[in-house]
Structure 1
Amino acid sequence: MRITLLAALAVLQISFTPPLRAADSASFVLNYIGQQIVPHQTKFKGTTVGGLSSLDYNASTARYLSISDDRSRTNPARFYELSLDLAKFQRSAEPGMAGVTFHAVTTIQQSGGGAFEKNSVDPEGLRFDRRRNTIYWSEEGHREISGFRSPAVREMNADGSHSRDFIVPLYYSPSGSRVWTFTGSKGVYDNLGFESLAISTDGTTLYTATENGLVQDSPPANAYRGSRARILAFDIATGKPVAEYAYDVEPVTSAPSLLGSFAIIGLSDFLAIGDRQFITIERTLSLGTITPGRINTGYTVRLYYADARNATNISGMESIAGKSISPLRKVLLFDMSDLKNTDGSALAIGNIEGITFGPEFKGKRTILLVADNNFSRMQFTQFVALEIAFESELERLQ
């Protein structure tokens, strides 16, 4: 079965009040430029293109880096270098991939050298540090019947060789039972660990985040409750943690229509736009959802403005359950479910897991998103381009 995407021109105006002054407000307007779809089972230099879980733009080369979340099953863990020609992005149900060019693929190496063995790693986030000409990447972590593995944040060189590990507090490591409801269990939930990375605008701090709370902090989100995730900040110079903040993930935005169907929501990536200010992605997968008038991929994707400047620094707190703390302040910016095609039909939304600022396009700054196809024929590798209509408003956030 071939899945086609419906895409469209949409101009969305989202008003919000950034926490600068009580009376201060700004209008943040995004224009939909277009999209590209990489076909299932596309091959590049002996690898299968898929699982693209991050996107970061290198202005000095006008190219992007994207990590694959392949657990060294299909091919060894790797990242791609590619270019995106926004002039070839189309607002079309079948936009093709003429605007996507893959240039290189690099194997991610273990600390002792050599590729990761099958099922020994789960790459998810990636950021290029233009100031230091180095690459940071995150590993989600693992709490399964086959064993536990701690989430990790690492640095590698451009050739994929290992440089160093950042120091992650021990209470992020899964322990206790695989069934998290058992007393004494701690650490990340399975498949809800370090999906994301962001570099501060001044280049001194690297951030990662759990998709949901730690086991000892809060249950995973469902249709009736959210989950209190954590954002973890590292000093890039030392690799040591310097701050942590609570981030409240929303409840599952679209409850399954079919009894017993799977549903999950998580903080899949984020982008620093100012002093402890971010654009965050919350991505829901709700299987069995039936929404009239929409292409039901099961995904709902929302972008938020999130501010940690007045949030409690929970650094060193093994558990925040029941504690009186202030989480990040959040305001909804953008719901991709509101995008419409030129014929009025809805956009089919992919598994959006990566976000980056892109180059200027027709005089406007851009934001690029990427969707992870999970190496599934029923999903798609989707690049989505958005234009920031008012640059001055973005500068006010920074």
Structure 2
Amino acid sequence: MVMKIKYCLLLFAVVFSGHSAFCQAANWNLAPPSTVLLDTSAVGAVSQMSGVTYLGLSPLPATTLLHRFAAVQNEGGVLLTFDVVFDPDGTLFLAKAVSSQILSPSFDFEGIAYTSSTRNSVYLAEENTPGVREFSLATGSQLQNVAIPPVFGNSRANRGFESLARSPDGTTMWTANEQALTVDGPLATSSAGTTVRLLRMDVAGDSVSPAEQYAYEVDPIHGTSTIGSPQSGLSDLVLLPDGTLLALERSVAFTSPLYLNRIYEVDPAGATDLSDETFDSGLFGENYVPVSKQILWSGAIDGSSGQNLEGLTLGPRLANGDWVLLGVVDDGDPVSQNTIVAFTLSANPSADFDSDGDIDGSDFLSWQRGVGISIGATHAEGDADRDGDVDADDLAFWQSAYSAPLSGLPLAVPEPLSNTLLLGLLVPMIASGRWRS
């Protein structure tokens, strides 16, 4: 079998040649996490939180301080809501459970994604069918069962859909099997990873349809011990405001740490679409290109033995422009607790919208075409600060970076645009209503 592996690794500079890393820097940065133990006194026992999603500001008093999240438990079909207070820098201050609700019917739920206050529902990924189902937050009843490509019926027991992510504009969702389908390859070992399939889904209102599939190479198990049940798999996915996809991997082995988590930035560009019927019977013997990935963070949640971090979601934006990435721990083992985890996520802004290695007039034209998009904007559409919109902030960044070369890449810089020309380009947009900040 010939398989092309395309990892985009963040490498140190090559000393002997004087050249720097061979691939583009990641779009986002992660700071080490803070943790607090979830206060469950208001709801009683909480067990095995597996997925988490952000609902917005809490309806309780002091809503400017309280942010509400929902977590799904992988046993008993329970949906838990809890409120969180963050310090200004995104550090966790407290987390308190608010309510719990029984879902009907009940499955082994692992991933969760909130829709909107208007629709008032969540999509849940369950791993044993595997499937993606929508449930009402008001009643806890199932609203629909999403059609899934038949190839995912080859998932291994308890290794199906573990993840679910939804874009801020509600037009896209992603899920993936935790470890390789039986027709795609073996489970992970300490010397080799496992190949899973990312599934993208198109969303239009309440209609969800499967789209592309991509191979994703999970890292090997981080320890060599064969005691217990060592494994490595894909635990969750997150979609950021600019459309960037993050992947949470979890490795467990009877070593130190017991649990090791890794968070990667994923890029499907150039990867093979496996939804073609050629790959319906599996990946054995087939040629394909997996997605590329770049490491953003790797470590043990508590800094020692680690805990079973299973769920991850994009939380609120902070006053300084950074974002919170919030996670939940599954307490179903002797070392893990009902721990809430928060990373601070910061963007690497760039005005090279056409990704050609320079910042010039063509990048301004990309911004001009995208200006006014208020949610779900991509970097290519002119979103320099990667917050999902195209506005004056992005133009200001383009102006500050104009004619500044990107290191190590050829340049083709035109004559600078004068302020008069810039004003001449902007006035028609303002007059036509295309400008929205």
Equivalent-residue separation in structure 2 for 1:135 and 1:274 (angstroms): 19
The Cα shift of 1:15 comes to 5.9
Deviation of 1:34 after TM superposition, in Å, equals 2.2
Contact 1:233 1:241 in 2 (8 A): yes
Q: Quickly say closer, same or farther: Cα 1:381–1:307, change in 2 above 3 A.
A: same
Question: AA paired with 1:312?
Answer: T
- Which residue type is aligned with residue 266 of structure 2? A
2:99 aligned with 1:104, yes or no?
Answer: yes
Q: Which residue of 123, 127, 138 corresponds with 1:140?
A: 127
* Per-residue deviation, 1:125: 0.7
1:69 corresponds to 2:96: no
Post-superposition CA distance 1:179-215 (Å, at most 9, x none): xxxxxxxx11122110100113442122110011110
Q: Is the 8 A contact 1:37 1:382 kept in 2?
A: yes
Q: How far apart in 2 are the matches of 1:208 and 1:58?
A: 19
CA distance 1:384–1:348, change in 2 (3 Å): farther
Unaligned 5+ segments in structure 2 are 1-8, 13-21, 59-66, 351-383, 389-437
TM-score normalized with structure 1 length: 0.73
Higher CA-based Rg: 2
Say if 2:330 is the partner of 1:372.
yes
8 A contact 2:113–2:165 mirrored in 1: yes
Structure 1 residue 25: Cα displacement: 3.3
Aligned: 1:151 with 2:130: yes
In structure 2, C-alpha distance between the alignment counterparts of 1:172 and 1:212, rounded to whole Å: 11
1:303 aligned residue: 263
**Structure 1 residues 330-378: Cα deviation after superposition (integer angstroms, max 9, x where no partner):** 11111124x89xxxxx44421111111222345332111211111x443
Structure with a larger share of its residues in strand: 1
Structure 2 counterpart of 1:50, one-letter code: S
Distance 2:188 2:137 in 1: 37
CA distance in 1, matches of 2:262, 2:88: 25
**What is the 5 A alignment of 1:40-55?**
42=40, 44-45=42-43, 48-55=45-52
- Distance of aligned partners of 1:129 and 1:391 in 2 relative to their CA distance in 1, 3 Å threshold: farther
TM-align CA RMSD: 3.0
Structure 1: 5+ residue runs without aligned partners? 1-13, 111-115, 142-149, 174-186, 341-345
CA contact (8 A) 1:16 1:27 kept: no
State the secondary structure of the residue aligned to 1:236: strand
More helix by share: 2
Q: CA deviation at 1:240?
A: 2.2
1:325 aligns with 2:288: yes
Q: Equivalent residues in 2 for 1:1-398 (5 A)?
A: 24-25=24-25, 28-32=28-32, 34-38=34-38, 42=40, 44-45=42-43, 48-61=45-58, 62-70=67-75, 72=76, 77-87=77-87, 99-110=94-105, 116=106, 121-130=107-116, 132-141=119-128, 150-159=129-138, 160-173=140-153, 187-237=154-204, 238-256=207-225, 259-273=226-240, 277-287=244-254, 289=255, 291=256, 296=257, 298-315=258-275, 316=277, 317-318=279-280, 319-337=282-300, 346-361=303-318, 363=320, 364-374=322-332, 376-390=333-347, 392=349, 395-396=385-386
| Amino acid across the alignment from 2:338 | T
Q: 2:409 is matched with which residue?
A: none
Higher relative contact order (Cα pairs below 8 Å, separated by 6+ residues)? 1
| Secondary structure, aligned partner of 1:384 | strand
What SS class does the counterpart of residue 48 from structure 2 fall into? coil
Q: 1:208 to 1:27 in 2, by over 3 A?
A: closer
Q: What is the alpha-carbon distance in structure 1 between the residues aligned to residue 27 and residue 136 of structure 2?
A: 40
**What do residues 152-185 of structure 1 show as CA deviations (whole Å, max 9, x unaligned)?**
1000111311100000122222xxxxxxxxxxxx
How far the C-alpha of 1:33 sits from its partner, in A, is 5.7
- Superposition misfits of 4+ residues, deviation over 4 angstroms: 14-17, 88-91
Q: Cα–Cα, structure 1 residues 32 and 228, in superposed 2: closer, same or farther, change >3 Å?
A: closer
Structure 1 residue 379: Cα displacement: 2.0
Q: Decide whether the 8 Å contact of 2:26 with 2:348 is kept in 1.
A: no
CA shift in 2, pair 1:368/1:90, >3 Å: closer
